[in-house]
Structure 1
């Protein structure tokens, strides 16, 4: 039995987890040490990944990754994930760190980067096709198609997704409004009865987006959402919530799955409106 396995209590903070991993690394069997090394470098992934996804990324079986979690002192993956979700924004690598990791991994060549992002996008699309149900997507599309106006909100990374949706709706003649929150004007009053709000927020979540979604829901306006984490607070205001997971390259995430999903949704909404 390893020293980590003898520890009965789970780490109570991220710093305690890191100290435990660093102090006990050499006592772990080879496969568990492999899990520890990968986890140490990619703590931010745990908040938005399943145990199967973490195991695949670490190149071990899910059962091995579960044994690693227990060796650290957790009852299982869920307990470790809950700890990391609570502190997600504290340890997500900044852009300098992400670029440095590319240099360390020898992945700075343009061709290599392109191949890595293509592979990450491909995996994201495969995951999307296996996780998003047609029933849920159809309910959202029908709800949006019946709206007087569709309001779209998504800031930071999500803005590129809602901008594309707004462009598509404009070209297809669907009344839509993209919210910018320029000058700290969040336009809560523009969302009226009979409208629908489609909100997108990726971890770390946008407070402005969450406020607008909650304000609309509190006034009885239908809210639909899209996120990359099951812990997203949009679940408190959205009647239906879509979940997408994007592959990463050194901490950089594309938008392959999110753009594909929302493009399909926008076209479906337009087709339903033209049928009625």
Structure 2
């Protein structure tokens, strides 16, 4: 579905090509041949590269049905998410110096965080927190890079609620665990470009079993977003061979903390007990240092 939508923009440019003005055709030619670069250019830079005026760029976006250049640029970036292979993503950065790359990467993450915060529906977020808090059981899944996020979310939610099942594709027993799903259970699926087909499959299965589906993804129209009852959007735009999980992690931290605060008393009791267990077993380095100091003090006495 997302592949078709990505192709739609490029196909639309080709379809409308005969009706474009001469200068708009120059722009269309440049975009079709260099869409991976054009997606991250300013309107002025794109105009310069195509050999046209900046107003032509704006008119071109209007002709394609966009309100202006920014939404057209965003649509072009969505094309990259779906179409580019990992190798192509590496090639995009081949002309940059190392210092420039790190600045671009950090700036992209900052933009993702800002966009996520601005676009986040607090009504949807609060609904998600309520569903998770009231769930009989919580099933969490994310594959490939998203597995980092699902394991992190599952670890802390289980610490708080004690009713969490993290679905690990590598174990091969996903559906054996999902057989237990029933109404009152919640599935949290995490999926970002290039989307894992498995997460959407699980969502479809959970729906058949009567469970609720929360999607954490980059777009409501993503494959998982379309399969979910509730979508929490976190931006992950970075055109590199690695995936950006900064904004998704921020959203997930917000979920964990909010669920914990929904039941402060229970959460406090759990962590009080854990702190004692950690101290007794010297889980953390400072506990070991304190114990060593106590032992040394006892020897000197």
**Normalised TM-score (structure 1):** 0.71
- Which of the residues 78, 84, 91 maps onto 1:93? 84
User: Partner of 1:268: helix, strand, or coil?
Assistant: helix
Asked if residue 123 in structure 1 is aligned to residue 111 in structure 2, the reply is yes
Pair 1:69–1:222, CA change in 2 (3 A): same
What's the CA shift for 1:134? 1.8
What's the CA shift for 1:147? 1.1
- In the TM superposition, structure 1's runs of 4+ consecutive aligned residues that sit over 3 Å from their partners are 11-21, 35-45, 61-66, 74-89, 170-174, 249-253, 273-276
Q: Where do 5+ consecutive residues of structure 2 fail to align?
A: 1-6, 45-53, 267-301
Q: Which residue of 2 aligns with 1:59?
A: 42
Asked if residue 113 in structure 1 is aligned to residue 101 in structure 2, the reply is yes
Q: Which residue of 2 aligns with 1:7?
A: none
Structure 1 contact 225–242 (Cα < 8 Å) conserved? yes
Structure 1 contact 36–68 (Cα < 8 Å) conserved? no
Structure 1 contact 44–88 (Cα < 8 Å) conserved? no
Structure number with greater CO (CA < 8 Å, separation at least 6) is: 1
Q: Which residue of 1 aligns with 2:216?
A: 226
Q: Where do 5+ consecutive residues of structure 1 fail to align?
A: 1-10, 46-53
Rounded Cα–Cα distance in structure 2 between residues aligned with 1:246 and 1:173 = 28
Q: Which residue of 2 aligns with 1:148?
A: 136
Rounded Cα–Cα distance in structure 1 between residues aligned with 2:133 and 2:189 = 16
Greater gyration radius? 2
Q: Which residue of 2 aligns with 1:5?
A: none
What's the CA shift for 1:17? 4.9
User: Partner of 1:58: helix, strand, or coil?
Assistant: coil
Asked if residue 136 in structure 1 is aligned to residue 124 in structure 2, the reply is yes
Name the Cα RMSD after superposition.
4.1
Query: Which structure shows the higher helix fraction?
Result: 2
